[in-house]
Amino acid sequence: MTCRITLRIAALILPAVLLAACGSGQDEPAPRMADADTTLTIAQGTVVGYTQDVDDGALAAHAWLGIPFAAPPVGDLRWRAPRAPRDWDGTLEALEFSDWCVQITNGLDAGYGYETGQVMGAEDCLYLNVYAPADRGDEPLPVMVWIHGGSNVWGRAAQYDASTMAARENIIVVTIQYRLGPLGWFAHPALRDTAEISIDRTANFGTMDMVASLLWVRDNISVFGGDPHRVTIFGESAGGRNVASLLVAPQAAGLFHGAIIQSGSSDSISTSIAEGSAHDPLARGQMTSADAINSILAFIAPPTPEQMAGAMRSIDVETLFTAYHLPNASGDLSINPYRVISDGIMLPEEGMLAAMRMPGRYNNVPVIAGSNRDETRLFNALDDRFTNRYFGVIIQPKNARLYDVISDHQSRMWQVQGVDEISGALRAGGNYQVYAYRFDWDEEGSFLFANYSKLLGAAHSWEIPFVFANWNYAGRLDRVLWNNGNREGRLALSDAMMGYWAEFARTGNPGTGNRDNTAWLPHGAAGRIVFDTDADGGVRMEAGELTPDIIYGQILADDRIQSQEETCLVYQAVIAWWPELAPAEFLDGACES
């Protein structure tokens, strides 16, 4: 459904809307200087990075930015699997982030001074960044590879500074980029028919980029002090769904040894639907590859596959990206292709969950899967059906009661599809090393007459700064979210979460996070761990799992709902997000839209 996609993209613009009156954000960082102590020689050549102080100089991290892990996917390599990276002569000064992968800017970019609705970035974008403790010792360290979110159409590795995580936890952290939007996920018979190698026939080029980055880690990370036999992949939102996709991708087998899915999902679409030869029964409103290409190219005579593929690869990226467009809640243009395609090559035709239920059909490694208690409040805050905005910076619910009800049930359904269904499928497939969490922190407080603890709560992506212990996360919104009033509890919770993530990377079991914390037990009978400050119940285990039927039963039993009309409104708001989880009947069809 269009509203599902629109609201997800709308979440990206919230900081700019809120913060016109909040100042200019963080000071400009000092120029990075090459440090000879970081000079290393990897397979491609010699590279030098820089040293960065952490925790006011108590610790230090080494960092190398913008290292290519694949050949530039340009020209004839557009819509092909990534090829091996090129060597370089001399010393590569890895001091600056690479270009973004091509994407359309949105309101969050406006918070950093970029005009919204613009095609930005470069096709030559397959680069990664490595963060390591400055004092690494002689023992190989566990490695964590971060896959950013952004609906697989937006985002870049430069948004995530892992220096603090690497230095405090004595681990190596790698942040990667991958092709986005129609360059990353694209199904067309002309591309399959002109494949140079068999893997070129995939429709999941962005997923193949992630595999290429893991191959680079396998072959090079020991030079940085990392252990190629202890690699954990982790990602949030679309990054979490990408982690799930790597769990079922045979090309990724053996390249990672643990996986963390933060607010992810397991949904995908068939090749026939993605390319337009079959109908989408869920009516997601996404544009097929055939629709996009037909809107750009016009042939007098039917082209051969070679002619069609050549013409497609010659389209400039701005024309390609603007062929996919959908006005979002702010009026910006957002690209809207199908993303994550069950092509039978990288991803199983039967879908991710089905593969996870079958021993031998997925990469069986320890897994963490979690969600945030108030995932959809971030999206609903910008939905004009639910909120009013005053002076461009103050957002308040139109009906606080219904705002809470709708957000609560939507967010619980996110837990169903992003955590409980994935965990249940993996357990059915013989994996009992699955750990679940829920992030509950909601201590933002009030600002400009708006209560952001209620408006946003434990919102989508809010756990990321806690995991990285890096509060330079949302531009000028940072000084609203991470304030002195919540500092003490926030830092303590961040320390605990970072400890659990790192211990999982070290051992495959989060345990107590290598601290005097609650023991995190496997999902199922033990339930999930809840992350919150001591003032709100602390870090604790909580029993129970959710299913769609439980959610729909909770809607019917919710005494905050005052009429059947409101019941239907809540139901429709839930299935707008998760149409694949809609029941066959609800109130005997009285809520059909």
pLDDT in tens, 538-571: 999 999 899 999 999 999 999 999 999 999 999 9
Mean pLDDT comparison of 105-114, 258-267, 573-582, highest-scoring range: 258-267
Q: Can you tell me whether residue 81 is helix, strand or coil? A: coil
Beta strand spans in 171-243 (E): 172-176, 226-236
Across 124-128, 190-194, 313-317, 382-386, least confident range: 382-386
pTM exceeding 0.85: yes
Which of the residue ranges 79-83, 140-144, 217-221, 393-397 would you say has the lowest mean pLDDT?
393-397
pLDDT at 5: 37
Whether the CB-CB separation of 227 and 142 falls below 8 Å is answered with: yes
Range name among 337-341, 490-494, 549-553 with the lowest pLDDT average: 337-341
The whole-angstrom separation of Cα 133 and Cα 144 is: 13
Mean model confidence pLDDT for the chain: 91
Tell me the H-state helices in 257-385. 271-275, 289-296, 305-313, 317-323, 352-356, 377-380
Task: Supply the pLDDT for residue 593.
Answer: 57
| pLDDT greater at residue 3 or residue 391 | 391
Lowest mean pLDDT among 38-47, 107-116, 226-235: 107-116
Radius of gyration of the chain (CA): 23
3-state secondary structure of 393: coil
Name the residue with higher pLDDT: 490 or 280: 490
Amino acid at site 158: A
pLDDT, residue 8, reads 41
Mean pLDDT of 253-263: 98
Q: What is the pLDDT of residues 365-404, one digit of tens each?
A: 999 999 999 999 999 998 888 998 877 667 899 999 999 9
What does residue 190 show for φ and ψ, rounded to 5 degrees? -65, -35
Helix (H) or strand (E) holding 132: strand 127-133
Span of 54-68, 208-222, 391-405, 562-576 with lowest mean pLDDT: 391-405
**Residues counted in the chain:** 593
State the chain's maximal CA–CA distance in angstroms.
Answer: 72
Q: Where are the domains of the chain?
A: 32-110+121-276+327-365
Pairing state between β 119-120 and 59-68 = unpaired
Q: Which of 288, 317, 234 is nearest to 498 (CA)?
A: 234
The mean pLDDT value for 38-60 works out to 97
Q: In angstroms, rounded to a whole number, what is the distance separating the alpha carbons of residues 497 and 439? A: 10
Residues 132 and 266: their CA atoms lie apart, in Å, by 31
Q: How many CB atoms lie within 10 A of CB 359?
A: 11
| pLDDT tops 60 at residue 459 | yes
* Mean local confidence (pLDDT), 160-186: 98
Q: Has residue 526 got a pLDDT over 80?
A: yes
Asked if residue 248 has pLDDT above 50, the reply is yes
User: Residues 473-493: what's their mean pLDDT?
Assistant: 90
DSSP-assigned letter for residue 561: -
Beta strands 387-390 and 394-397, pairing class: antiparallel
Protein fold of 32-110+121-276+327-365: Rossmann fold (3.40.50)
In tens, the pLDDT along 11-20 reads 334 444 444 3
**Of residues 251 and 475, more confidently modeled:** 251
Supply the pLDDT for residue 12: 39
Phi–psi pair at 421, nearest 5 degrees: -70, -40
pLDDT-derived band at 326, boundaries 50, 70, 90:
low
Parallel, antiparallel or unpaired: strands 333-334 and 326-327: antiparallel
Q: Is it the case that residue 27 has pLDDT exceeding 60?
A: no
pLDDT at position 250 is 97
Instruction: Please report, as a single letter, which amino acid is at residue 498.
Output: M
| Reported confidence tier of residue 22, pLDDT bands at 50, 70, 90 | very low
Residue 428: count other Cβ atoms within 10 Å of its Cβ: 13
